[in-house]
Amino acid sequence: MGSATGTDLVAAVSAAGGLGIMGCAGRDPSWILEAARGIRAATDRPFGLNLLLFEVQEEAMRAVLEARPRVFSTGWPWPDQDLRGYFSRAHDAGSLVVHMVSSVSEARRAAAAGADAIVAQGTEGGGHVGLMTTMALVPQVVRAVAPVPVLAAGGIATGAGLAAALALGAEGALLGTRFLATPEAPVAAGFKQAVLDSDGHDTMLTEIPDIARGRVWPGAWSRVVRNRLIEAWAGREGDLRARRSEAGPAMQKAFREGDAGGAPLFIGQEAGQAASD
């Protein structure tokens, strides 16, 4: 989960019997290698390292492979990127490849390129998502890529959600939002409170955070809390493009300062279920 993951959270998930995955997108090689060392110091259980393929840097890719994680986790490639090239380099380094998709066609493409497992992520999820729901997407991906195993993601926060994912044909589930308000998550207190306060109705899909950062994210919308930042720009995306040089840094500053109104809060529709556990 990008900046919402840290060594404590990844190690805690792995030590508890899951597979913690560290978001490494945008990180430099020394940060990636240090993160892998930190996780290994805390647990001897397997873990994953994640890169976003549309903006992947060769140095980051090399550092991830040098760290030899059990799982190389990927997602969001450009249509013309050579997935097989990335996946076979990971296999040569001894890693399994788990690739996230938000459509059936992307799932077929990743399976054909040699992915060891596919994450089918529905639009309910926090962060960057597509438009298909988990309920509709998972069984179609399962059928399209069999016998490649599928993990369901998006909107899952409880054991009941995991059971539903298994009933849809998934072999397991990948959770993000559920971990945002945990003590181990390196997330500002105000952001954690927003997760606990949410009933999902206060989230929406938007391109505002990416426009403000000047990022073109192929095929994705962001699911975020409709806070002061989003209210200010919703329906005014053209203006935002024009005023990116002031809006982008203001948004980043709000994020750094833990201002839950001015920062993009990436959370899924199931956020409130974290509070009821």
Residues between 169 and 198 with contacts to ligand FMN, criterion CB under 6 A? 174-178
Q: How many residues bind ligand FMN (CB under 6 A)?
A: 27
Q: Which stretch binds ligand FMN (CB under 6 A): 10-18, 38-46, 168-176, 248-256?
A: 168-176
- The string over 171-196, giving b where at least 16 C-beta atoms fall within 10 Å of a residue's C-beta and e elsewhere, is ebbbbbbbbbbeebbebbeebbebbe
Q: Is there a contact between 275 and 196 (Cβ–Cβ < 8 Å)?
A: yes
Among 6, 18, 20, 23, binds ligand FMN (CB under 6 A): 23
Among 107, 132, 266, 274, binds ligand FMN (CB under 6 A): 266
Q: Is there a contact between 220 and 128 (Cβ–Cβ < 8 Å)?
A: yes
Q: Which residues contact 79 (CB under 8 A, 6 or more apart)?
A: 218
- Under the binding rule (CB under 6 A), the answer on residue 130 touching ligand FMN is no
- Under the binding rule (CB under 6 A), the answer on residue 259 touching ligand FMN is no
Runs of H (alpha helix) within 134-227: 134-145, 159-167, 189-197, 208-213
Q: How far apart are CA 78 and CA 66, in angstroms?
A: 24
Min dist. Cβ of residue 128 to ligand FMN (A)? 7
Among 126, 130, 209, 272, binds ligand FMN (CB under 6 A): 126
User: What is the DSSP code (8-state) at residue 10?
Assistant: H
- Under the binding rule (CB under 6 A), the answer on residue 6 touching ligand FMN is no
Provide the binding-site residues for ligand FMN, judged by CB under 6 A.
Answer: 1-2, 4, 23, 25, 50, 52, 75, 100, 121, 124-127, 153-156, 174-178, 266-268, 270
